[in-house]
Chain A
């Protein structure tokens, strides 16, 4: 097969071979890659693999999700908190297509994931056979790599390659489709991990001249500012990053996926950038003289109108993916490479600095934001419960040590803005794709990957109902995840836009909701509903103290808005506080 020729590591070791079926080979490949948990849903075309899983259930724990989308999001949650590759498995046809949303989400958020799908027998390919879809064709635009296996002998090499691609460089999702006959076919199995592919350079070399140029710009800057993204977390560069900002005294802001790389309370952490980010870092993006982007990709939700984004600043971009450089924002210096290595090499080139006056500007603008927005969010005086005060209560009772898994919408922005993160890999959310329904299954994966951590899921009433069936998975697997639904009986973010930009025409955004507590209890999950402020603290305490899974519904004000806000297409300078 072709892959044989593409692998760098051609040296044939003395391998022990054994004659086994393709489906058993799949399990052995997974074990060789250190996989001990799978999220999936069986069906006709993947049954031989499931039959082998039955035999290996003492070594690999299969989690039966209630929908294949749930399997991918669980695998994502697992990957995001552990840094390991998440694995999801499904049958052909609808099983495979149901994976697509999670795969697309993992692709845009650079989450390492391997998805395995069964496929009809190779003699039926292209015949519109029962439950046949061209999943390789369908998944091509949303995978880092994919491959269809039609012969059992391909399995070891394709699996080795898949795991290598998924986790190396800028991580991403990989899909392997295996025909049913390949699962049954017997062959001489041996396994060798992939260490390189000749056409694939996962981490580009860092150019010393670029590093020196970056250091010179930073050392000469009067008003430098950093915007960091998930690249710091994926590159495990948290310590190096902290050392750089502390030595050079640079105010640093984060994108939504960069959150938690350094503690929220760090004196140089100046908040979140972007559409619903903090006032200071957004406004001062257009006042800094050097903007240093680290492991972020200048997403349009971060930059607002590109024509008026940081035009006064020299731009330095630390980036692992060369295709991201100059894609949205033209850089003056691009430092390619892994964030950990680049920042480590940068540190000795930097002068010690503090930029006190410049940092004070961030504090001054924070005070404005506090008076206009944060105070009312966290310490409301009016009647309705705010989403912010729920977050504040969770922060207090988890001592800021919880991993927060948020869904998509208003509550997500509130969760990311107000969650108190003390440790890295604590903010798990759907950033680039904005997938409603992400949180509940992702929280399952996160909690299973890090059972020692408190995992609190926060969703709105809309997104929660998109994957509510995963309560069944939580119940069956006894995953002690804490589920918080902030219920405003609206698709809140869309409603906010309708209010602000569509003359309050609330087209199809009001939700008539079921009895969420009864549903949770139907799955034998302890549950409570809070409608008044006076009951919030005790309810959150009861949730945190509960050993098992717990569902908490908090009825929040119906028409609460999330501010600050940069309207679509506006400049970051035009961020609105009300």
Chain B
């Protein structure tokens, strides 16, 4: 039996309708599966939304969940991918005391080496933005936490797949 737990990124193309988030998240909740991250946004097709969901489960569980998601009336198609099959980014913001920016030379090096971007600076604090893979953000968090972080927030994963997802073709077929 398939017991290996892997991280999967699920891409769900849906109609942009109220209540669908509830329906889709309930599929995971009911099976007691924790969602690591969830993002919804417009997709490349007008009027079609895209969910990007990250979960850690076995592949057999994943296949069943894919079926349950696709079963929803307003879901056009659901795909799942392993880490290697996607190109993904997450984004985060750090709020840090401004003094540290000038007093701790090391912080400037960390910002530079991590390719983070200063969004704003004022007398009390500055805000740092970093986009990247999970590990990069975790590394930056560890490095900055030594100096003290006033606030930290991180987005859900957004991902595109290396392989084509033929949603437009599928939608065209639906019209006929």
Binding site for B on A (CB under 8 A): 2-3, 5-6, 8, 136-137, 140-141, 144-148, 165, 196-200, 321-327
Contacts and interface: CB of A to CB of B under 8 A. Distances in A.
Q: Which of A2, A321, A325 lies at the interface centre, i.e. has the most chain B CB atoms within 10 A of its CB?
A: A2
A198 B171 contact: yes
B131 interface: no
B135 interface: no
B73 A144 contact: yes
Contact of B70 (A3, A137, A323, A327): A323
A6 B74 contact: yes
Contacts of B19: 136-137, 140, 146-148
A322 B76 CA distance: 14
Interface stretch (B60-68, B81-89, B101-109, B156-164): B60-68
Contacts of B18: 148
A190 B118 CA distance: 57
Contacts of B71: 321-323
Given A2-B15, A8-B174, A141-B30, A199 B23 contact: no
9 tightest CB-CB pairs across the interface, nearest first?
A323-B67, A198-B174, A199-B76, A323-B71, A145-B73, A200-B73, A141-B26, A140-B22, A199-B74
28 contacts: A2-B15, A2-B16, A3-B17, A6-B15, A6-B17, A6-B74, A137-B19, A140-B22, A140-B26, A141-B26, A146-B19, A147-B19, A148-B18, A165-B73, A196-B174, A198-B76, A198-B171, A198-B174, A199-B14, A199-B15, A199-B74, A199-B75, A199-B76, A321-B71, A324-B67, A325-B67, A327-B64, A327-B67
A199 B74 CA distance: 5
B151 interface: no
Interface in B1-43: 14-19, 22-23, 26, 30
B74 A326 contact: no
Interface centre among A3, A137, A198 (most CB of B within 10 A): A198
Nearest to B68: A323
A165 B17 CA distance: 16
A113 B147 CA distance: 61
Contacts of A199: 14-15, 73-76, 174
Interface residues of B, number: 24
B100 to A, nearest CB: 43
A174 B162 CA distance: 38
Interface of B: 14-19, 22-23, 26, 30, 47, 63-64, 67-68, 70-71, 73-76, 171, 174-175
B27 to A, nearest CB: 9
Given A2-B16, A145-B73, A197-B73, 5 more contacts: A5-B47, A140-B23, A199-B75, A323-B68, A327-B67
A322 B47 CA distance: 26
A323 B64 contact: yes
Contacts of B17: 2-3, 6
Contacts of B16: 2
Contacts, number: 59
Contacts of B64: 323, 326-327
Nearest to B74: A199
Interface centre among B63, B68, B174 (most CB of A within 10 A): B174
B20 to A, nearest CB: 10
Nearest to B173: A198
A200 B14 CA distance: 10
B17 to A, nearest CB: 5
Contact of A198 (B23, B68, B70, B175): B175
Contacts of A323: 64, 67-68, 70-71
A389 B70 CA distance: 47
B64, B67, B73, B174 — which one has the most chain A CB atoms within 10 A of its CB?
A: B73
Contacts of A145: 73-74
A327 B16 CA distance: 28
A198 B63 CA distance: 23
Contacts of A197: 73
- Most A-side CB within 10 Å, residue of B18, B47, B67, B68: B67
Nearest to B27: A141
B5 to A, nearest CB: 19
A157 to B, nearest CB: 13
B60 to A, nearest CB: 8
A140 B76 CA distance: 18
Nearest to A197: B73
B77 to A, nearest CB: 8
Contacts of B74: 6, 145, 199-200
A35 to B, nearest CB: 21
A321 B15 CA distance: 20
B70 to A, nearest CB: 7
B109 to A, nearest CB: 50
Contacts of B15: 2, 5-6, 198-199
A146 B17 CA distance: 11
Contacts of A325: 67
A441 B71 CA distance: 30
B73 A137 contact: no
A146 B146 CA distance: 50
Q: Which of A6, A148, A199 has the most CB of B within 10 A?
A: A199
B160 to A, nearest CB: 21
A323 B72 CA distance: 10
Contact of A8 (B22, B68, B175): B175
Contacts of B76: 198-199
A165 B71 CA distance: 12
A324 B70 CA distance: 12
A563 to B, nearest CB: 33
Nearest to B76: A199
A430 B154 CA distance: 47
A195 to B, nearest CB: 12
Contacts of A136: 19
A324 B171 CA distance: 24
A2 B14 CA distance: 12
A320 to B, nearest CB: 11
Nearest to A144: B73
A8 B175 CA distance: 6
A161 B64 CA distance: 27
A114 to B, nearest CB: 14
A322 B70 contact: yes
A326 B64 CA distance: 8
Contacts of A144: 73
B22 to A, nearest CB: 5
A455 B89 CA distance: 62
Nearest to B171: A198
Contacts of B14: 199
A61 B19 CA distance: 33
B14 to A, nearest CB: 7
A321 B47 CA distance: 27
B153 to A, nearest CB: 26
Contacts of B22: 137, 140
